[in-house]
Structure 1
Amino acid sequence: MIVLWVLVLLIALATEFAFSMKMEVNTTRNYKEDTESYYLAKAGLNLALAELLKTARFHSIHEEYGWITGNPIPVPDATTNPGDATEEEPQEFDIVNRTNIELEHGTITYTIRDENGKISINSATKVTLNKLLAYSGVEEKLDQDTISDSILDWIDTNKNHRLNGAEDDYYRTQSPPYYAKNGKIETLNELLKVRGITEEILYGSPEEDGEYKG
């Protein structure tokens, strides 16, 4: 009987030891992966900084790709010599939109976009917001006014809603209910909480390939 209890105790100890070792292995692996991810992120940041600091004859904003930098490469047609290309002819540029750059312990992807060309949602006027909504496909004036007033109500610090806006009395009727922030918008996704804003308005429809999703 004593031998049986000793075996049970040994089995329990062995099981606990095996579980403990498994947890230590998982912890070590997670730490290793976190460390690698951290330094991959730093590598991407440093590469992006190098893109901005490198010597280039051209810096501009591309309508589709955002910030681009680099030296223009003349693309002559069949009737001209390569040395005869002019600035008016088609150009290729170094677009700062790097995808799946392979490093020793993983891959990195980064994009550089000019923030100065964007409109601050927290300081935009109703007129500006309505123009942005029209550009996003919101055609009805009442819909534009409803959304723009609701955005302004979401940002301001009082509980009074504008003519077509929304405050707590509206958001408390939603499922699940919530409150108006009455503070600055911190992320794009936060706008989805504002009355009238949809993913299609904010990010575009699935058919709009190449639209900015960040």
Structure 2
Amino acid sequence: MRKRRGIVLIVTLWVLMILVVLALTFAATMHVEARAAANELYRTRALYAARAGVERTILAIGQDQTGYASPLSEWAALDSEADEFPFSNDERYEVTVTDECGKIDLNAADEELLAKLPGMTDALIASILDWRDADDDPRPDGAEVDYYSRLKPPRECANRSFLTLPELLLVRGFTKEAFYGPKVAGQTRFETTAPERATEEETLPLEELLTVYGGADDLDAQGQERLNINVADTTALAEWTDGILTEGDVQAIVDYRGSMGAFDSIGELLRVEGITREKMQQAADLLTTRSRASESSGAGSTTGEQPPPGMPTVPGPPDDAGQPTLPGLGGDTGRQAPGGETPGPPGFPPPTPDPEGPTPPQPSTSNVADIDLAALPEAGDFRPNILNLNTAPPETLATLEGMTEQVLNAIADYREAQSFTTRGDLLALKEMDEALFAQLVEAVTVRSSTLRITAIGSVDEGRIRVRVTAVVDLKQSEPRIVYLQAG
């Protein structure tokens, strides 16, 4: 009997031990699942905090009336802790904005322009051109379908324009180190640490030099159309420049044009008697040498392969239309003829467009009957590879024809303290001579047509962080998200 009771005790202890182990295992499993559920909730909150940062930035862009895009703009770096719309819980967002108009358009750059970028070799350039051309014939040092089909796993050669910039990593010869930079090349797409920018001594990675959303419309800093000096008469020139140029100045311009032929650049106006640097600085942003029928041309390139006006279409969420466009960014309004009235305060959208598609704005000529419409560029006259003076890094500014190191340094010094408000402000640089101004002025802008918004949302005292990247098209009456990535 005593032996039997001992066996029962041992069995009971084993059963209790098993039950304790099962209970502890169940508790641990429940704890892990509860923590996973909490983390998922935190990630969702962080995601929507980041999305709130994107939308808040779009709102701030729409409220900006400065007429130019610059790192000194209030919307260029937003933080929910300093925002007038704080969160009620511990959610937080941090936003940085990058101007795509400060980069080289990968789809529009020709061989000569690509060769000016740091790190580009003949083989890399040939591979880019083969990837985006329509045929299967490889260039010397290039790569077409024969090369890509032998890879493991094999892939197609696109033979079309790049749709996104990371697509460049599919092209032969391009590495993560060259694309992202050595500091972030090893990170996975799930890591949310913001990439560090290169220091002055380091070369910027290709991610910060190239884009598929580059270029700008041929509009002035306020998003209004420019007057073509090659066809406008004296009345139009005088009215359009609104007191900047005198009657004698505009007559001298017309006389010079009649004897010397058409102007190749508005900078050549400095050759005309009576046109001083001060007058040119004020008038440069109002004038152009381009007509309605002129072809788009890029900075440092006039013969490269040109994509259709605009940008590759990357579908975005249908509810992501944002706020009214910033005059210095989007291009929704046309210049009223001198004496005309602007419909509504600047920066607010025009009446709702026809759902079939927007109608390009037409300039009013009600008060200046002899302004020839051919003297105005067609609304939305898109020009790839026009660089924003305020946001372009030295590496892309250096690709502009005629650019010198001395002027590059002068531009960098100028924008440390203030922004270029029009392209005419180039003449504020003492290093800028008249010949170089004529080369540069029509290759630059102070506007942006596309911004990249990077928002990092965080919760739980920053332990959970989620990054959202949105590319926002500003060329329409309202900002429109054309690319969105979370994670």
TM-score interval w.r.t. the shorter chain?
0.5 to 0.7
1:52 aligns with 2:61: yes
Provide the C-alpha distance between the structure 1 equivalents of 2:68 and 2:101, rounded to a whole number of angstroms. 12
Aligned to 1:61: 69
1:182 aligns with 2:191: no
Counterpart of 1:147 (choices 115, 124, 134) is 124
In the superposition, relative to structure 1, how do residues 200 and 118 fare at CA in structure 2: closer, same or farther (>3 Å)?
same
In the superposition, relative to structure 1, how do residues 42 and 138 fare at CA in structure 2: closer, same or farther (>3 Å)?
closer
Give the TM-score taking structure 1 as reference length. Answer: 0.60
Aligned to 1:15: 24
| Alpha-carbon contact 2:80-2:92 (below 8 Å) kept | yes
Matches within 5 A, 1:16-35: 16-35=25-44
TM-superposed CA distance for 1:212, in Å, is 8.2
TM-superposed CA distance for 1:119, in Å, is 5.2
Q: Which digits, 9 at most, give the CA deviation of each residue in 1:138-178, with x for residues without a partner?
A: 58xxx34x33321122234654312331125445777x775
1:97 aligns with 2:76: yes
Corresponding letter in the other structure for 1:182: A
| Alpha-carbon contact 2:78-2:94 (below 8 Å) kept | yes
Give the TM-score taking structure 2 as reference length. Answer: 0.30
Provide the C-alpha distance between the structure 1 equivalents of 2:111 and 2:74, rounded to a whole number of angstroms. 31
Q: Which has the higher contact order (CA 8 A, sep 6+)?
A: 2
SS class of match (2:131): helix
Q: Higher helix fraction: Structure 1 or Structure 2? A: 1
In the superposition, relative to structure 1, how do residues 163 and 138 fare at CA in structure 2: closer, same or farther (>3 Å)?
same
TM-superposed CA distance for 1:105, in Å, is 1.9
Provide the C-alpha distance between the structure 1 equivalents of 2:95 and 2:203, rounded to a whole number of angstroms. 19
96-105 vs 27-36, greater mean Cα deviation: 96-105
TM-superposed CA distance for 1:10, in Å, is 1.1
| Alpha-carbon contact 1:150-1:194 (below 8 Å) kept | yes
Counterpart of 1:112 (choices 77, 81, 97) is 97
| Alpha-carbon contact 1:136-1:202 (below 8 Å) kept | no
Instruction: List gaps (5 residues or longer) in structure 2.
Output: 1-9, 82-86, 182-197, 209-487
In the superposition, relative to structure 1, how do residues 130 and 212 fare at CA in structure 2: closer, same or farther (>3 Å)?
closer
Aligned to 2:116: 135
SS class of match (1:59): coil
SS class of match (1:61): coil
Counterpart of 1:160 (choices 137, 149, 152) is 137
SS class of match (2:56): helix
In the superposition, relative to structure 1, how do residues 152 and 115 fare at CA in structure 2: closer, same or farther (>3 Å)?
same
In the superposition, relative to structure 1, how do residues 53 and 100 fare at CA in structure 2: closer, same or farther (>3 Å)?
closer
Provide the C-alpha distance between the structure 1 equivalents of 2:135 and 2:62, rounded to a whole number of angstroms. 44
SS class of match (1:111): strand
| Alpha-carbon contact 1:192-1:199 (below 8 Å) kept | yes
| Alpha-carbon contact 1:44-1:110 (below 8 Å) kept | yes
Provide the C-alpha distance between the structure 1 equivalents of 2:48 and 2:202, rounded to a whole number of angstroms. 34
Q: Which digits, 9 at most, give the CA deviation of each residue in 1:21-52, with x for residues without a partner?
A: 21232122212211221221122012101211
Provide the C-alpha distance between the structure 2 equivalents of 1:54 and 1:199, rounded to a whole number of angstroms. 37
| Alpha-carbon contact 1:36-1:105 (below 8 Å) kept | no
SS class of match (1:34): helix
Provide the C-alpha distance between the structure 2 equivalents of 1:23 and 1:171, rounded to a whole number of angstroms. 44
In the superposition, relative to structure 1, how do residues 210 and 54 fare at CA in structure 2: closer, same or farther (>3 Å)?
farther
Corresponding letter in the other structure for 1:98: A
Provide the C-alpha distance between the structure 1 equivalents of 2:43 and 2:30, rounded to a whole number of angstroms. 20
RMSD of aligned C-alpha atoms? Answer: 3.7
Residue identity over aligned pairs, in percent, reads 33
Provide the C-alpha distance between the structure 2 equivalents of 1:120 and 1:97, rounded to a whole number of angstroms. 21
In the superposition, relative to structure 1, how do residues 130 and 198 fare at CA in structure 2: closer, same or farther (>3 Å)?
farther
1:38 aligns with 2:19: no
| Alpha-carbon contact 1:136-1:201 (below 8 Å) kept | no
